[in-house]
């Protein structure tokens, strides 16, 4: 018995784009709702912690007592803020240390940005082969050597005395000889 698997139809590009835009719109709405909820919580907290002051109809002594109470509350809040900041700093330092330990355990270190450095070929070879080997790049060492005798043999014999050759080739007679020689070698 052969079971045929039915493939799920792929989503078209326009459908994907529409779904993506719907997801973004939904996320935007949720973000706005979250911001409103936070604002409401903030107002509720401030109303609970700091009720509105009623200073009308208070005498000078009562106003001074109210100021002392407010200063005491401010001192308490500042102490709490300082303690919380100290805890946050301690936690961030601890997180940083733990991240460094994790990187050490993994063996991955942050690589510094490298700069281009001009180094001669001799210095590169010296660093590769070690300082014991004295390396000098002789670029002519690998060139093919050509013997002078080979080039002298290829020259025709009539070129040996150049003065005779110049006199023979001068004028129209010489041009005719060169033309005939070229014509004869081509055939």
- Dump pLDDT digits (tens) for 19-56: 999 999 999 999 999 999 999 999 999 888 877 888 88
Tell me how long the chain is.
Answer: 187
87 pLDDT more than 90: yes
* pLDDT value, residue 55: 81
Q: Is 39 in the same domain as 21? A: yes
Q: Is 47 in the same domain as 62? A: no
Query: Is residue 76 one of the residues assigned to a domain?
Result: yes
First to last CA, the chain: 84
Query: Is residue 30 one of the residues assigned to a domain?
Result: yes
Tokens read off for 30: 């949720």
Query: Is residue 151 one of the residues assigned to a domain?
Result: no
**Last residue of one domain, picked from the residues 89, 109, 129:** 109
95 pLDDT more than 90: yes
Give the structural domain span for 39. 13-52
Instruction: Share the mean pLDDT of the chain.
Output: 79
Query: Is residue 69 one of the residues assigned to a domain?
Result: yes
Q: How many domains does the chain have?
A: 2
Q: Is 69 in the same domain as 100? A: yes
Top mean pLDDT of 119-123, 136-140, 156-160, 182-186 is at 119-123
Q: Is 77 in the same domain as 62? A: yes
- Dump pLDDT digits (tens) for 105-145: 777 666 677 777 777 777 777 777 776 555 555 666 666 77
SS3 140: coil
Report the alpha-carbon distance of residue 109 to residue 97 in Å, rounded. 14
Q: Is 37 in the same domain as 82? A: no
């Amino acid at each position: 018995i052969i079971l045929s698997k039915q493939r799920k139809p792929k989503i078209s590009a326009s459908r994907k784009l529409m779904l993506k835009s719907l997801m973004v719109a939904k996320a935007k709405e949720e973000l706005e709702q979250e911001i409103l909820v936070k604002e409401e919580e903030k107002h509720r907290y401030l109303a609970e912690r700091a009720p509105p002051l009623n200073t009308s109809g208070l005498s000078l002594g009562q106003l001074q007592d109210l100021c002392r109470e407010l200063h005491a509350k401010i001192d308490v809040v500042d102490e709490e803020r300082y303690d919380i900041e100290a805890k946050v700093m301690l936690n961030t330092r601890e997180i940083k240390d733990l991240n460094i330990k994790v990187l050490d355990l993994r063996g991955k270190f942050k690589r510094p940005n490298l700069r281009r450095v001009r180094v001669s070929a001799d210095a590169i070879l010296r660093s590769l082969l070690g300082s014991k080997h004295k390396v000098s790049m002789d670029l002519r060492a690998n060139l093919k050597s050509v013997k002078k005798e080979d080039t002298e043999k290829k020259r025709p014999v009539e070129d040996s005395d150049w003065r005779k050759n110049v006199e023979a080739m001068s004028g129209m007679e010489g041009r005719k000889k060169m033309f005939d020689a070229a014509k004869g070698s081509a055939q």
